[in-house]
Amino acid sequence: MIRALAEEGLEGARRLLRAGAETDPELRERLERLRLRLRRQADRRVDRIVTDYDTRIAELDQVRSRSDADVAARIAALEARLAAARSVDWSKMPPTDLFGDVETALLLPDASWNRPPAPAGFAARLRALLARCVAWLRSLFSRRRAGRPAAPAGRTVTFAVASGAGRGLGPSDLGDALARLSPPQREELSENVSNSLRSRERDLQKEAEERRRAADAQRRALEEERAEAERRARAETEARVKQGEARRLERELKERGFVAERGASLVVTFGLVERFARLLLEEETRRLPEGARLSLRGEGSTGVYEKARLRRAEEIAHLDLPGSLLAARQAGQRHIDESTSYVYREITAERVHVVLAFDRSGSMEESGKLDAAKKALLALYVAIRRRHPEATIDLLAFDNDVEVLDLVTLWECKAGSFTNTGEALRAAHLLLQASRANRREFYLLTDGLPESYTGEDGKVHSGQLDVAMEQALVRAGELATVRPLRSTMVLLKSAHPEYETAARAIARTLGGELVVTDPGRLGVELLVRWAHGVETERRLLPPAPLPPERPSPGRDGARARRRKGDRRMGG
């Protein structure tokens, strides 16, 4: 996990988690429990969405059922009125529930009783003229007042009257109109009433069918919307499960101190890079020669020590076990106690200051040279810390400029522009010259020639290789004046022989060693140079004299037997 996070970030951790779940049953079961819990939480939301749509569909079905029942009741009422209309005696007043239908039928414009009479022919007009003449003559010779002339046969009188709400007939007008209808007209009225009722029934059925189709379309739309909402909710459920897994992974990584939030993103922490560096050191250590490997384990001294009695509990880490056992046997004891415990107490500690400078110019990005340099420096950093926890370690990255890094920025640094070797040597000189350490080491990693330099005006100039080389040699000479100093220059192999020539000139000026190697061997070469450093020797003082033993009376035989048994055990 540490390697995946360091090299690939969170995506590498997720990939490793997926791969681990395929081979680790316990991890797979844990992930399944997490997914099951997340799915249950998301399924509750899906159920709420589906239930809401089901409620809306049920309400729509209820409205449709009520509408169908209402239409059926209205059609049944029309059927009853139609049956009643067929059995009505139109010479009398119809039932009151038919008043509206009868009135509508009577007021039809195309009814025979509402049509104007047909124009009379010539013979009819002549007969009418003669009749009027005869009537006039009679009126002249008759003293009796003539009565009201009868309406001509076959002519109807319009009986529609105006009402307050418009055109209509009152009950008395309706009765008068029915009484004035002839039998053929009554049959026509009956047929008109039946047709009106049947037309209204057809309209109701058509309206009901349209409502039914609209309800069906609305229900289908709701069902499609419900299916789409459920599909989206299911997809969101899977997305929420994945997001939940990612959040859980990020939370556990943050709890373990592997990642931290920086703004809106997660970045690796110092603790993660340090542990990754330890892994790199373990890998590189397995490739070291046996002597260098033992030296990296800390078996040599790092200062001047004396052998003395135990004073503080934390000194037990430097216990001289053979000397303490011998002192306990000489005192007649079978176990070590405080009076017989001897430790190596450091009286003169070695102070160490190491400067690690590496080239991060654009050419270092080729063939994985920059990644190899970063991994090698991480391993060397941990190796130094393991031997000298209080050592001062400066990490310098240089291209046109020089930047001081920590472990995190070292691992995250990217390739830059040109190589300003002289400025890197100048920065190392300032750091080591001000140091009070009695062991100073300088490591310089590069892959080419000095390409730029910093002028007296403080500006960086590039393109003049001879001036850049001259400036680098001047700065190397200044750094060589620092004493004591052990310097190592590492050149990554190149097809250009002039690169090695320039590197040898710089290393010679520094008074140090030049190593030409491949990126794959870079970590081993650095660790070998570090492990073979010069160290002060441990000075062992003889143990303090023990107080004379005072035998107690009556116990000499037992003490002698105990000493005899101790000698058998090697005491």
Q: Please check whether residues 77 and 197 belong to one and the same domain.
A: yes
Q: 0.85 cut: is pTM over it?
A: no
Q: Per-residue pLDDT averaged across 329-343, rounded?
A: 84
* Residue 309 φ/ψ, nearest 5 degrees: -65, 155
Domain, as residue range, for 449: 351-531
Q: Is residue 566 domain-resident?
A: no
Nearest to 445 by CA among 352, 509, 507: 507
pLDDT over 60 (residue 178): yes
Other CB atoms within 10 Å distance of the CB of residue 33: 10
Strand 486-492 to 439-446 pairing: parallel
* Residue 290 resides in a domain: no
Residue 472 has pLDDT above 90, yes or no: yes
pLDDT-derived band at 376, boundaries 50, 70, 90: very high
Residues 436-453 pLDDT 10s: 888 999 999 999 889 999
| Three-state SS sequence of 71-118 | HHHHHHHHHHHHHHHHCCCCCCCCCHHHHHHHHHHHCCCCCHHHCCCC
Q: Are residues 244 and 366 in the same domain?
A: no
Residue-level pLDDT at 92: 67
Question: pLDDT, tens digit, for every residue of 217-257?
Answer: 888 888 888 888 888 888 888 887 888 888 888 888 888 88
Position 378 pLDDT exceeds 60: yes
β-strand pairing of 352-359 with 439-446: parallel
State residue 195's pLDDT score: 82
* 62 or 166, which is more confident: 62
Number of domains in the chain: 2
* Mean pLDDT within 249-267: 85
Mean pLDDT of the chain: 79
The dihedral built from the CA positions of residue 197, 199, 200 and 202, taken in this order, carries a sign that is positive
Task: Give the pLDDT confidence score for residue 410 in this predicted structure.
Answer: 92
- Per residue in 6-36, pLDDT tens? 888 888 888 888 888 788 888 788 888 888 8
- Per-residue pLDDT, averaged over 529-547, amounts to 49
**Is the pLDDT reported for residue 49 higher than 70?**
yes
Q: CATH code at 505?
A: 3.40.50.410
Pair 362, 261 in one domain:
no
Cα–Cα distance measured from residue 355 to residue 494, given in angstroms and rounded to the nearest whole number: 25
In this prediction, residue 517 has a pLDDT band, given cuts at 50, 70 and 90, of very high
- Whether 547 shows a pLDDT value over 90: the answer reads no
Domain boundary among 216, 239, 268: 268
- For 393-413, write each residue's pLDDT tens digit: 999 999 999 999 999 999 999
Residue 425 in contact with residue 511, Cβ under 8 Å?
no
Q: What is the mean pLDDT of residues 419-446?
A: 93
pLDDT of residue 540: 38
- The helix (run of H) or strand (run of E) holding residue 454 is strand 452-454
Residues 496 and 391 in one domain: yes
φ/ψ bin of 284: left (φ > 0), alpha (ψ from -120 to 50), beta (otherwise) = alpha
**The pLDDT of residue 453:** 93
User: Given this model, what pLDDT does residue 346 score?
Assistant: 64
Q: Is residue 542's pLDDT more than 50?
A: no
Is the per-residue pLDDT at 76 higher than 70?
yes
Q: Where do we find the tokens 């951790």?
A: 13
Which residue would you say has higher pLDDT here, 296 or 417? 417
**What's the half-sphere exposure (Cβ side, CA atoms, 13 Å) at 39?**
9
- Does residue 475 have a pLDDT over 50? yes
Of the ranges 8-22, 327-341, 411-425, 525-539, the best mean pLDDT one: 411-425
The answer for 356, left when phi > 0, alpha when psi is -120 to 50, beta otherwise, is beta
- On whether both 256 and 359 belong to a single domain, the answer is no
* Least confident piece of the model among 38-52, 170-184, 359-373: 170-184
> Could you give the CA distance from residue 137 to residue 516 in angstroms, rounded to a whole number?
157
pLDDT at residue 550 tops 80: no
> Are residue 262 and residue 372 in the same domain, yes or no?
no
Residue 342 belongs to a domain: no
Res 251: pLDDT: 87
Shared domain for 99 and 4, answered yes or no, is yes
Closest CA to 182 of 155, 160, 159: 155
pLDDT at 390: 86
| 369 and 235 within one domain | no
Percent residues over pLDDT 90 in the chain: 25
The domain boundary, picked from 240, 268, 296, lies at 268
pLDDT of residue 347: 61
